[in-house]
A and B are shown apart, each in its own frame.
Chain A
Amino acid sequence: MISKIPEGPLAEKWSRRKSDIHLVSPNNKRKLEIIVVGTGLGGASAAASLGELGYNVKVFCISDSPRRAHSIAAQGGINAAKNYQNDNDSVYRLFYDTIKGGDYRSREANVYRLAEVSAAIIDQCVAQGIPFAREYGGYLANRSFGGVQVSRTFYARGQTGQQLLLGAYASLNKEIAAGTVKSYPRHEMLDLVVVNGEAKGIIARNLVTGQIERFGAHAVVIATGGYGNAYFLSTNAMNSNGSAAMQCFRKGAYFANPCFAQIHPTCIPVHGEQQCKLTLMSESLRNDGRIWVPKKMEDVEKLRKHQIKASQIAEEDRDYYLERRYPAFGNLVPRDVASRAAKERCDAGFGVNETGLAVFLDFKDAIARLGHQKVAERYGNLFEMYEKITASSPWDEPMMIYPAIHYTMGGIWVDYDLQTTIPGLYAIGEANFSDHGGNRLGASALMQGLADGYFILPVTIGDYLSKKFAEPKTDTATKEFIEAEKAVQARIDRLFAINGTKTVDSFHKKLGNIMWEYVGMARNEEGLKKAIKEIKELKEDFYKEVYVPGTQFEFNQELEKALRLEDFFEIGQLMAYDALNRRESCGGHFRIESQTEEGEAKRDDSAFMYVAAWEYKGQDSEPELHKEPLKYEFIEVKTRNYKD
């Protein structure tokens, strides 16, 4: 496990690495094949850019079109160090905010590179015709986001992810039309094929016919996003899953910092037992919305009984707890801090809905200050979406929000070149672990996906492929491919053979409950040990009692879910192992045993300033921990402080 971080000053590392990388000539690129799995911002931008370079690319997605990938749902915006606002922003400041926001658990060199390429992403996206918000003079507009004190977020209403993905998808379409990229929609990767220690292809199931198919290449890129759906209820799309990452893990790729999951503070609260999906309200709302709960318990009780409305509670009886606790950042503290503060108030009994798990996000002051039209321009579609779901209008009454699982900072371990511990296997975007440390800042996921896909991977993968152009096309009739296919078939046969009585979702819900209870917003040793044990038992029940209806050779969504759930069990356990090992509070990972007297997270840099990279050691065996020490050469490591 060598991180391959280039020597030299921080600002020169990326250009040094680029000048060291061997090139592949255009006639040789034509001979090389690359598989890209996933078509979100990372996968689509990588596949398109690799196609433009002249490689032969095969791109896979589980949905009916690459455009459905869950990047599409990102609302708020994308960060870039353009300093268009003249507010003293810079590459260094974006780098610094990201490292600090990540609670000093990410690599300096990777994060600096991310900040360095951020400006080019905006240029690229504008050139593709993405209709970013504009000022009246025709220049690009910016907004602020949590965890920073400058305004560097570019946006397209509350649909920034959609517009960026449609841009990357358009570039992908251009390459599909040009013949450099071949698209395989409704195909799900079910295993990675490793030949002589190198990634050489995948086994995939055609989700329409159910056929198992083999695909060979000279390199494989995983861009399949995060594993937040291990919690069952999350803001992730229903089909988002961590299976490709787990397949790579079982084939030898290390998995880094799995316990770092982000709990987003502004989601619509759970409404009842029948719910399957939580909806995020963009963090950009915290720019102008103020978060509060009542000061008096009697007001809380009246609210729960619907005897009063929030708007009737007097100003002096409201506790704007973020502004009270964190005066310097107020409502714009990072996500982990805002989430825990909401939990603290609700645990103290001040939750404002029937379940006691909700706080207010209020736009009354913003509407008075900015006027109806300005607020509508900024948040109109979000207000509408909220009203559609809850049947309550944010124009009249404050929104109700509560934290929910949203993003996973952990992922497949990669070196500076985004290569995993398996040569020829790369991981990009949310699927890797590299840039966000213990907590991701708002509007940085889009930035990282596109940085990896447009500007980093297409360069670094050349270094590996420059040694491979003489190799012929990968033969998929070899024993490695046959064995991998047989193993996939055996997995499917096993699921049908169980023929129990319980549905896949019933097990997934139970897994979600275990995860939220013990591996959620606050974790301790006892709970984590319990989680590991309970997941093991649940898994055993699953293999005795699950019922997967239908057959393999048809469109079968229950089979898809069952295969993904098998991997979620393993991810859940891996998260618990990692959380158990990390006996400090850090970013999104809060260990109850490690907090200050005021209840703030307490990091332990002397013992845990490392990346925890886990190696697979077989079914139900404890994975082996490898530590990559984090060295901070260019910045001073501090306690995160959003108070003053």
Chain B
Amino acid sequence: MDFNLKIWRQKNAKAKGHFETYHISGIEEDASFLEMLDILNEQLIREGKDPVAVDRGCKSSGPVSFDHDCREGICGACSLYIDGRAHGPDDHVTTCQLFMRHFKDGATITVEPWRSAAFPVIKDLVVNRGAFDSILQAGGFISVRTGAAQDANNILISHDKAEESMDAAACVGCGACVATCKNGSAMLFVAARVSSLALLPQGKVEAKRRAKAMVAKMDELGFGNCTNTRACEMECPKGISVSHIARLNREFLKAKFSD
């Protein structure tokens, strides 16, 4: 398969970015999107060293930087806005699980980084998602010390509650929800953590403090407000439901009323 790739290039956080277009050919249908980018990078590195290509006026700005790691959809490292959609045209996948068979041969594909005030670009397609760590540090945990726990079966949790908590806990922290939201809100990310813990008896003790602290941190870090467009749910690679946002709102209101 052949493609034209229109890719966002930006030298560093301060530099002005721009699109560059590259042509790539000979891609297997079963190759993943990131494997395709690997092949492009091999090509760009070779072109940078190829005197013929340089003579032709080929100005390679070197390989394209992009975040990736596990390549099986669980680490949350990969991002990429592909043809206007977070993680590309397939549903419920991260970019590393996107395969080239989802694209038309000869297509032009536009690749951008996450665009959000809270996620500044580091280079090319790589952004800084440190704000997510900061939100979780504000309260996304249960305060239990190592060794303090009782026997695990002393805490009974209904099958359905555990499953619902797990639905929310499946969040990989990729940031697709923020990148997709027109307000750049991190509500789905915050809600997934708050809701997962609020559903469990262990998490109830700190539930109020947690909801308040995490929402306050989210606001402080420059994420926008939620206006219930549900776009985040549509683009979440793990299909996390906006019903968790409803639970976050209930937790937050309960906390406010008890102040």
From A45, which residue of chain B is reached at the shortest CB distance?
A: B146
Instruction: Give, as a whole number of angstroms, the nearest-CB distance from B186 to chain A.
Output: 14
Please state if B28 and A127 are interface contacts (CB–CB under 8 Å): no
Instruction: Give, as a whole number of angstroms, the nearest-CB distance from A163 to chain B.
Output: 6
One of A64, A70, A280, A549 near B129 (C-beta < 8 A): A64
One of B65, B74, B159 near A138 (C-beta < 8 A): B159
Instruction: Give, as a whole number of angstroms, the nearest-CB distance from A607 to chain B.
Output: 40
Q: Which residues of A contact B128 (CB under 8 A)?
A: 64
Q: What's the interface size class on A, roughly? A: 35 or more
Instruction: Give, as a whole number of angstroms, the nearest-CB distance from A51 to chain B.
Output: 10
Please state if A557 and B93 are interface contacts (CB–CB under 8 Å): no
A140 with B46, Cβ < 8 A, contacts A65-B173, A124-B147, A170-B141 known: no
One of B71, B74, B159 near A277 (C-beta < 8 A): B71
In the complex, which residues 590-629 of chain A have their Cβ closer than 8 Å to any Cβ of chain B?
A: none
Instruction: Give, as a whole number of angstroms, the nearest-CB distance from B1 to chain A.
Output: 11
- In the complex, A131 has a CB within 8 A of chain B: yes
Please state if A84 and B97 are interface contacts (CB–CB under 8 Å): no
Please state if B169 and A275 are interface contacts (CB–CB under 8 Å): no
In the complex, which residues 170-184 of chain A have their Cβ closer than 8 Å to any Cβ of chain B?
A: 170-171, 173-174, 176-177, 183
From B166, which residue of chain A is reached at the shortest CB distance?
A: A131
- In the complex, A272 has a CB within 8 A of chain B: yes
In the complex, which residues 34-72 of chain B have their Cβ closer than 8 Å to any Cβ of chain A?
A: 34-36, 38-39, 42, 45-46, 48-49, 62-63, 65, 67-72
Instruction: Give, as a whole number of angstroms, the nearest-CB distance from A173 to chain B.
Output: 4
One of A65, A129, A137, A161 near B142 (C-beta < 8 A): A129
Instruction: Give, as a whole number of angstroms, the nearest-CB distance from A102 to chain B.
Output: 26
Q: Which residues of A contact B163 (CB under 8 A)?
A: 131, 134
Please state if B146 and A455 are interface contacts (CB–CB under 8 Å): yes
Instruction: Give, as a whole number of angstroms, the nearest-CB distance from A406 to chain B.
Output: 12
Interface-facing stretch out of A338-346, A361-369, A384-392? A384-392
- In the complex, A279 has a CB within 8 A of chain B: yes
Please state if B38 and A276 are interface contacts (CB–CB under 8 Å): yes
Please state if A128 and B147 are interface contacts (CB–CB under 8 Å): no
Give 1 or 0 for each of A484-512: 1 = CB within 8 Å of chain B CB: 00000000000000001101011000000
A65 to B76, CA, bound (A): 10
Please state if A129 and B150 are interface contacts (CB–CB under 8 Å): no
In the complex, which residues 348-397 of chain A have their Cβ closer than 8 Å to any Cβ of chain B?
A: 384-385, 388-389, 391
Please state if B97 and A389 are interface contacts (CB–CB under 8 Å): yes
From B138, which residue of chain A is reached at the shortest CB distance?
A: A177
From A67, which residue of chain B is reached at the shortest CB distance?
A: B173
Please state if B142 and A140 are interface contacts (CB–CB under 8 Å): no
Please state if B97 and A64 are interface contacts (CB–CB under 8 Å): no
- In the complex, B158 has a CB within 8 A of chain A: yes
Please state if B146 and A52 are interface contacts (CB–CB under 8 Å): yes
Instruction: Give, as a whole number of angstroms, the nearest-CB distance from B63 to chain A.
Output: 6
A294 to B146, CA, bound (A): 51
Instruction: Give, as a whole number of angstroms, the nearest-CB distance from A276 to chain B.
Output: 6
A68 to B175, CA, bound (A): 13
From A46, which residue of chain B is reached at the shortest CB distance?
A: B146
Q: Which residues of A contact B11 (CB under 8 A)?
A: 554
Q: Which residues of B contact A48 (CB under 8 A)?
A: 146
Please state if B200 and A129 are interface contacts (CB–CB under 8 Å): yes
A177 with B142, Cβ < 8 A, contacts A131-B162, A272-B30, A501-B46 known: no
Q: Which residues of B contact A137 (CB under 8 A)?
A: 156
Q: Which residues of B contact A454 (CB under 8 A)?
A: 146-147
Q: Which residues of A contact B136 (CB under 8 A)?
A: 169-170, 173
Instruction: Give, as a whole number of angstroms, the nearest-CB distance from B96 to chain A.
Output: 8
Give 1 or 0 for each of B104-119: 1 = CB within 8 Å of chain A CB: 0000000000000000
A73 to B74, CA, bound (A): 6
Please state if B28 and A271 are interface contacts (CB–CB under 8 Å): yes
Q: Which residues of B contact A69 (CB under 8 A)?
A: 75
- In the complex, A398 has a CB within 8 A of chain B: no
Please state if B133 and A72 are interface contacts (CB–CB under 8 Å): no
A122 to B154, CA, bound (A): 12
Please state if B62 and A120 are interface contacts (CB–CB under 8 Å): no
- In the complex, A534 has a CB within 8 A of chain B: no
Instruction: Give, as a whole number of angstroms, the nearest-CB distance from A322 to chain B.
Output: 25
Question: Please, could you name 14 A-B residue pairs with CB atoms under 8 Å apart, sorted by A?
Answer: A64-B129, A66-B133, A82-B152, A126-B152, A129-B197, A131-B169, A162-B170, A177-B137, A237-B70, A273-B28, A276-B34, A276-B71, A385-B97, A547-B45
Since A73-B70, A136-B158 are in contact, a sample of 19 more A-B pairs with Cβ atoms closer than 8 Å, ordered by chain A residue number, is A45-B146, A65-B132, A68-B69, A68-B77, A70-B75, A127-B155, A128-B144, A131-B165, A132-B162, A159-B74, A272-B28, A274-B35, A276-B35, A276-B38, A385-B97, A549-B63, A554-B11, A554-B12, A558-B45
B contact residues vs A (CB 8 Å cutoff): 11-12, 27-28, 30-31, 34-36, 38-39, 42, 45-46, 48-49, 62-63, 65, 67-77, 90, 92-93, 97, 99, 101, 122-123, 126, 128-130, 132-133, 136-138, 140-153, 155-159, 162-163, 165-166, 169-170, 172-173, 196-197, 200, 202-203
A contact residues vs B (CB 8 Å cutoff): 45, 48-49, 52, 63-70, 72-73, 82, 84, 120, 122-140, 156-157, 159, 161-163, 166, 169-171, 173-174, 176-177, 183, 185, 208, 237-239, 271-277, 279-280, 384-385, 388-389, 391, 454-455, 458, 500-501, 503, 505-506, 547, 549-550, 554-555, 557-558
